[in-house]
Amino acid sequence: MSKTALLLVDIQNDYFPGGDWELHAMEQAAENAASLLAAAREAGQMVVHIRHENPSAEAPFFRPGSRGAEIHSAVAPTADEPILTKARPNSFLDTGLSDLLQEAGIEALTLCGAMSQMCIDATARAGRDLGFDITLAEDACAARAMAFGGVELSAQQVHAAFMAPLAMSYARVVSTAELLKN
């Protein structure tokens, strides 16, 4: 069995057009994630789906039991693929993910999903700190425009601002096409 697992993080309905927290280019990111998912399944790699659920019915998105909190159909899990639910950006925190991966002999993770500036960043850093080799399919991730200190950042700028430091020391950051060549 492969020592690499594909981790699909928060590819959920609320991030898509018409959802409660739409991200820039989420449909394209999901299309790339679906390509990675098909390749991982074909290669017999472990696939883990992570879904975020906010603990409050008043949350702006991913409310418990809502359609928006469901995994998007583009990357629908099969019956044998684990689905872990988290309440914080770090996919390893209080989910059992680390134990699941270690029990399967996983040494490396390929990450994709959303949001680049929250859950992808937190999960990549935590995974690396736990000793996993991390590969991040940057174009299978999506971000949202933000502002801080009077500075407005486009979703593309936010995405780049998070991919650059991750590429420095936490992950191999590549395109989906580059990953699929291997």
Task: Give residue 2's pLDDT.
Answer: 77
Q: Is 8 helix (H, G, I), strand (E, B) or coil?
A: strand
CA gap 118, 90 in Å, rounded: 8
- Tell me the one-letter amino acid at 176: T
Q: Nearest 5°: phi and psi at 28?
A: -65, -40
Q: Is 141 a catalytic residue?
A: no
Bridge partners for 12 per DSSP: 71
Residues 6 or more apart whose Cβ sits within 8 Å of residue 57: 63, 64
Q: pLDDT per position in the chain (182 positions), as tens?
A: 579 999 999 999 999 999 999 999 999 999 999 999 999 999 999 999 999 999 898 999 999 999 999 999 999 999 999 999 999 999 999 999 999 999 999 999 999 999 999 999 999 999 999 999 999 999 999 999 999 999 999 999 999 999 999 999 999 999 999 999 97
Q: Which of 36, 48, 59, 119 is catalytic?
A: 119
Task: Give residue 127's pLDDT.
Answer: 98
Task: Give residue 1's pLDDT.
Answer: 59
Supply the range of the domain harboring residue 142: 4-181
Question: Interior CA angle at 16 toward 69 and 63, to 5°?
Answer: 20
CA gap 120, 173 in Å, rounded: 12
- Single out the residue of 166, 113, 110 nearest to residue 139, CA to CA: 113
Structural domains in the chain (count): 1
Residue 4 CB: number of other CB atoms within 10 A?
17
How would you list the strands of the sheet with 4-9, edge to edge? 83-86, 46-52, 4-9, 108-114, 133-142, 172-174
Check which CATH number belongs to the domain holding 64 and give it: 3.40.50.850
Residue 44 CB: number of other CB atoms within 10 A?
9
Task: Give residue 156's pLDDT.
Answer: 98
CA dist 13 to 23, 31, 60, 81, 151, Å?
A: 11, 14, 13, 19, 29
Answer yes or no: pTM beyond 0.85: yes
Start-to-end CA distance of the chain, whole Å, equals 17
